Amino acid sequence: MEAYKRWVRRNKEYVHSLESLANGLTWLLPERFSSSEIGPEAVTAILGVITAINEHIIDTAPSQIHTGHPAPSAFPYSLCISALKDLETLVEVVAQHYYGDTKKWNFIAATEAIKFLVRLAMFRNSGYRMLLQGGEIPNSEEKLEVCSSQSRHGDFRKPGFYSGPGSFRNCVGQNGWNLEGRALSALNRFGENARMVSDPVWLRRVQQQNAIMEPLGRHVAPKAETSTLSSILSEKGVHGSLYLMGEILFISRPLIYVLFIRKYGTWSWTPWFLSLAMDVFGVGIFSQVTLSGCGSEDRKFQYTTSEKDELKRRKLLWALYLMRDPFFSKYTRERLDRAERLLEPVPLFGALTAKVIELIFGAQTRYTYMSGS
C-alpha cells in the first residue's frame, strides 16, 4: 500500500488524467439509464471510489502538512463522504431493481442518514467550521493576514486560501455538473457538483494547497485553536446560534427531503417546497451573521474567501429545483421538448442538442443525480 501511495503522489497529474478519461468513458457504456443499468453504475461507482482514494492519498502527503494547521483527524471524513456520494447512485439502482420504486426510498433514506451522521461528526470534529463541497474538502487552514492590512491594501488572498468557519476570533491578530476531469461526468453527479466554476474537485484542492504553501513559507502561524460548541455560543451569542443553525440545516436538508418524498411521493409539492425553504432559509441565516468590517463589536462572523465561495455554490444548487419533480414534469420538461423541436432542423447542432436532452431526461430519473447532497 505504501508503494502505491508513493506512486500516486509522484504521478498525480498522470493519475488525474486517467481518472478523467475513465469517468468520461463511462457515458459510453451500454444500457446507461436503462432498466438494467446496475453494471454501468457499478463501474462508475468503483471508478469514483478509486478517484476519491487517490485524492485522499495526495491530500494527506507529508509535504501537505504545515505548521500551525490543526492536526488531521484520525478518521478520514472527507474520503468517507466522497465514497458515499459515489456509491449512492448504485444503491439507488440496485434497490429499485430488486425492491421497486416505492421501497427504494428506504435505502436512499438510509444512505442519506449515514451521510448526515458523517457530516455532523465532521462538523463537530473540525471545530464547527463550514463544510466545503459538502465535506469533500476539509476546511482547516488559518488566515495569515490581519484586518488592518486588508483594509489598507485590500484583500490580497489568493483564490482558495481560507481560514476556517468565520474566524471565531476578533479581527486583530490571527483568525482562528462536472465538466472536466471528474467533471466529464457532469450529469452523473449533476446534483452534487453544480459549481461556480468548471474545475474538478482535485484541481481546486491543488490550487488551494499551492496558494497556502507560498505565504506559509514566509510566515510561521501559531497553533490553531479548535472552537467548541460552548465557546461559539458564549463568544458569538445569537450570531453563533444562527451560524450553527444554518449549517445544521444544510447538513440535514437532504435527509429530511428524502424522508418527505418517502412519505408523500415524488409527485407531491410538499417535499419540494420544504426542501427549497430550508435551503433559502439556511443561506439567509449566513448572510445575517457576516461581519461587515474590521473592528466591529457586534460579534458577527467574518467568512473566508472559500467560505464565501461555498455559500455561492449553495445558491447555485437551487437551480436543481428546476430538475426535480414535480416541477420538472410540469414545467421544465415541456421547455426542453420545445427547444429540441426548435433546434432539430439545424445540422449537427440539432443532433447534439437531442443527445444532451436525452441524457438530461435519463439523469433526471435518478434522485441521486439531482439531490444536490
Dist. CA 259–CA 263, nearest whole Å: 6
- 332 vs 86, 265, 361, CA distance in Å? 27, 19, 10
* Run of H or E residues at 9: helix 2-10
Residue 272: predicted pLDDT: 97
85 and 192 Cβ atoms separated by less than 8 Å: yes
Please identify which residue in the block is written with the cell numbers 414545467: 331
Dist. CA 319–CA 264, nearest whole Å: 22
Dist. CA 320–CA 81, nearest whole Å: 21
44 closest CA partner among 17, 26, 18: 26
For the chain, give the number of residues.
373
Q: How many helices (H) and strands (E) does the chain have?
A: 13, 0
Dist. CA 168–CA 166, nearest whole Å: 6
SS3 143: coil
114 and 80 Cβ atoms separated by less than 8 Å: no
Which pLDDT tens digits describe the chain residue by residue (373 residues)? 778 777 777 777 767 777 677 766 666 655 555 555 787 788 888 888 888 887 878 877 776 554 444 455 578 889 999 999 989 999 999 999 899 999 999 999 999 999 999 999 999 998 899 999 998 888 875 543 333 333 333 343 333 333 344 443 333 333 334 433 444 444 444 444 444 444 455 555 555 555 555 554 444 444 456 678 888 888 778 888 889 999 999 999 999 999 999 999 999 999 999 999 999 999 999 888 774 444 444 556 678 888 989 999 999 999 999 999 999 999 999 999 999 999 888 888 888 888 889 888 888 988 998 988 8
Dist. CA 358–CA 250, nearest whole Å: 31
Give the dihedral sign, CA 143/146/147/153. Answer: negative
